[in-house]
Chains A and B, each alone.
Chain A
Amino acid sequence: MQWETVIGLEVHVQLNTKSKIFSGAATAYGAEPNTQACAIDLGLPGVLPVLNEEAVRMAVKFGLAVNSNIAKRSVFDRKNYFYPDLPKGYQISQFTHPIVIGGELNIDLEDGTTKTINITRAHLEEDAGKSLHEAFKGQTGIDLNRAGIPLLEIVSEPEMRNAAEAVAYLKKLHALVKYLGICDGNMQEGSFRCDANVSVRPLGQEKFGTRAEIKNVNSFKFVEKAINFEVTRQIEILESGGTVIQETRLYDSQKNDTRSMRSKEEANDYRYFPDPDLEPLVISAAFIEKIKQELPELPTAKHARFMTQYNLSDYEANILTETKAIADFYESTVKIAGMNNSKTTANLMIGELNAALNKDALEIENCPINVEQLAKLVQRVADNTLSGKLAKTVFEFMWQQPQDPDLIIEQQGLKQVTDTSAIEKIIDTVIANNQKQLAEYRAGKQQLFGFFVGQVMKASQGKANPDQVNKILQGKLS
Chain B
Amino acid sequence: MHNKSITELVNNLRNKQISCVELTKLFLERIKKYDQKLNSLITNTEAQALTDAALADQAIANGTAGLLTGLPILHKDIFCTNGVKTSCGSRMLDNFIAPYDATVVTKLKAAGTIMLGKTNMDEFAMGSSNETSYYGTVANPWNTEYVPGGSSGGSAAAIAARLAPAATGTDTGGSIRQPAAFCGITGIKPTYGLVSRFGMIAYASSLDQGGPMAVSAEDCAVMLQAMAGFDPKDSTSVDREAADYIKNLNDPINKLVIGMPKEFFSADLNPEIAKVVESAIKELEKLGATVKSISLPNSHLSIPAYYVIAPAECSSNLARYDGVRYGYRCENPVDLNDFYCRNRGEGFGAEVKRRIMIGTYVLSSGYYDAYYVKAQKIRHLIANDFITAFKEVDVIMCPTTPETAFKIGAKNKNPVDMYLNDIYTTGINLAGLPGLSMPAGFVNKLPVGVQIIGNYFQEAKILNVAHQFQKVTNWHKQSPQEFA
Expressed in whole angstroms, the minimum distance between the Cβ of B355 and any Cβ of chain A is 15
Question: Do A45 and B316 contact each other (CB < 8 Å), given the known contacts A51-B235, A271-B365?
Answer: no
Interface string of B229-259 (1 = CB under 8 A from A): 0001111100000000000000000000000
| Residue in contact with A45 in the complex, picked from B96, B204, B315, CB distance below 8 Å | B96
Q: Is B83 an interface residue (CB 8 A)?
A: no
Q: How far does the Cβ of B103 sit from chain A's closest Cβ, in whole Å?
A: 10
**A87 near B199: Cβ-Cβ < 8 Å:** no
Stretch in contact with the other chain, from A76-84, A149-157, A222-230, A378-386: A76-84
A190 on the B face (CB < 8 A): no
B93 pairs with A45, CB closer than 8 A: yes
Q: A44 contacts the other chain (Cβ, under 8 Å)?
A: yes
A298 within 8 A of B: no
- B462 at interface (Cβ–Cβ under 8 A)? no
A191-199, A273-281, A358-366, A414-422 - interface stretch: A273-281
By beta carbon, the residue of chain A nearest B324 is: A84
Task: List residues of chain A with CB within 8 A of the CB of B316.
Answer: 78, 80, 89-90, 271, 273
Closest B residue by C-beta to A279: B235
Interface residues of A in 1-57 (CB under 8 A from B): 39, 42-51
The number of residues on chain A lying at the interface, defined by a beta carbon within 8 Å of a beta carbon of chain B, is 28
Q: How far is the CB of A271 from chain B (nearest CB, A)?
A: 4
Distance A48 CA – B102 CA, assembled complex (angstroms): 11
Residue contact B320 to A273, C-beta cutoff 8 Å: no
Q: Which A residues are CB-close (under 8 A) to B96? A: 45
* Nearest-Cβ distance from residue B301 to partner chain A, whole angstroms: 20
- Is the C-beta of B372 less than 8 angstroms from some C-beta in chain A? yes
In angstroms, Cα B102 to Cα A279, docked, is 21
Interface residues of B in 305-323 (CB under 8 A from A): 312-313, 315-316, 318-322
Contact with A46, one of B199, B236, B315 (Cβ below 8 angstroms): B199
Q: Are B360 and A84 in contact (CB under 8 A)?
A: no
Q: How far is the CA of A40 from the CA of B320 in the complex (A)?
A: 12
A89 to B313, CA, bound (A): 12
Q: Which residues of B contact A87 (CB under 8 A)?
A: 320, 324-325
Q: Does B345 contact A (CB under 8 A)?
A: no
Contact of A279 among B99, B202, B236 (CB under 8 A): B236
Number of interface residues of B (CB under 8 A): 44
Q: Does A174 contact B (CB under 8 A)?
A: no
Any chain A CB within 8 A of the CB of B368?
yes
CB distance from A83 to the nearest CB of B (A): 9
Q: Does A303 contact B (CB under 8 A)?
A: no
Interface residues of B in 99-156 (CB under 8 A from A): 99-100, 102
Q: Does B363 contact A (CB under 8 A)?
A: yes
Which residues in B have their C-beta under 8 angstroms from that of A42?
325
For residue A142, CB closer than 8 A to chain B, the reply is: yes
B5 at the interface (CB under 8 A from A): no
Are A269 and B364 CB-contacts (below 8 A) given A43-B320, A48-B197? yes
Closest Cβ of chain B: how far from A125's Cβ, in Å? 16
B456: CB under 8 A from chain A? Answer: no
> A44's contact among B88, B313, B326, B365, by CB below 8 Å, is which?
B326
User: Are B233 and A269 in contact, with the CB atoms below 8 A?
Assistant: no
B residues near A121, Cβ cutoff 8 Å? none
Task: State whether the Cβ of B200 lies closer than 8 Å to any Cβ in chain A.
Answer: yes
Using Cβ atoms and an 8 Å threshold, which residues of chain B touch A48?
A: 197-198, 233-236
CB neighbours (8 Å) of A44 from chain B are: 80, 98-100, 325-326
- Tell me whether A215 is interfacial, beta carbon within 8 Å: no
Asked whether any CB of chain A lies closer than 8 Å to the CB of B265, the reply is no
Instruction: Indicate if A88 sits at the interface (CB-CB under 8 A).
Output: yes
B201 part of interface (Cβ distance < 8 Å): yes
Q: Which residues of B contact A279 (CB under 8 A)?
A: 235-236
**B340: nearest chain-A partner, CB-CB:** A82
B102-A49 in contact (CB<8A):
no
State the B residues within 8 Å of A (CB). Answer: 79-80, 86, 88, 93, 96, 98-100, 102, 197-202, 204-206, 232-236, 312-313, 315-316, 318-322, 324-326, 336, 340, 360, 363-365, 368, 372
* A contact set with B: CB distance below 8 Å: 39, 42-51, 78, 80, 82, 84, 87-90, 142, 269, 271-273, 276-279
